[in-house]
Structure 1
Amino acid sequence: MASRSRILGVANSPPPQRTAVEDSSTATAKPVNSDMVLILATLLCAVICVLGLVTVSRCAWIRRICCRTLVAPPSVSHPPRAANRGLKKKVLKSLPKLTYGEENEYAGKLADDCAICLAEFATGEEIRVLPQCGHGFHVGCIDMWLESHSSCPSCRQIFVTARCQNCGSSPVAASDG
């Protein structure tokens, strides 16, 4: 029966005392809080991202400053171009119509064919001559073109409508060049 009391005695005995050397080794091995690791990792990633963005924006700023000297000087500025949206019907109807083959100011200066449909002009056909550039086209061809474009189909010169300063009406298209 002595063996039974020994087993019971061992189970009820106080835990053995630790030495100072054992206490210092277990004190450094405390469990690490996982929330703190996650917070530190997030802060480190944020700092790296901010530094990267600062570097990229600085490079872009330096490049913009350096490229300004390579571009045309600011004294050479081009006027803004008008939108190529088509002419209003009132302006379109005000463009002059001529009869091909008759004596007029464009006789001998016009091409022999319409640059839109590529058909030759026949004597007696109505053509429309654009006053800004002097190019001539069949009336139907150029009217359809000018409904959706505000430029000459041959030379791409853009027309800007000018309004009368007295009455405010738009008589004839004016050139921007």
Structure 2
Amino acid sequence: MRRRNPVRRLPRGAKYAVIIGGGVPGLLCLIGLICYGCRRMKLARQQRRIDSELAVPTFDRQLVFRANMGLDVSTIESYPKTVLGQSRRLPNPVDNMCSICLSDYQSQETLKSIPECNHYFHANCIDEWLKLNGTCPLCRNSPDAPSSTPTPTSSLPALDNQ
């Protein structure tokens, strides 16, 4: 008497389908991970090689370069300041927003203009900008030498006192 095995086996075609259906995508994922790892190692080696070639500290050169780009404090302070009146009207009606901080001008705010192009900005915004960049943020024109004397903040003219 021969006993039958109670475990049913998959047919041969089903076995091949499972092997191909799971094995091929798994193999492709494994190949992809290996390629990704190799690429990352190659980039890390290139970066180490570049870093070793540039053994001189580049950070100091960047600081010197940036310091030379901006304007000196006396030039920045020499630019005319204006206190904005209640109606918030400027000589150029297009200038109703500071293009550095993207905020609308409010009454009683101190604005500063660049004399060469007459663009207006918040005084704090343009001061910080000109310390780092020697050009107007809007037109990118380089300001000339400082004008005559700085305008004292105590005698700022108001554009409109309505």
Same fold (TM over 0.5): no
Structure ID, larger Rg? 1
With the length of structure 2 as denominator, give the TM-score of the two structures. Answer: 0.44
Q: Say which structure is richer in helix.
A: 2
| Bigger relative contact order (CA 8 A; separation at least 6) | 2
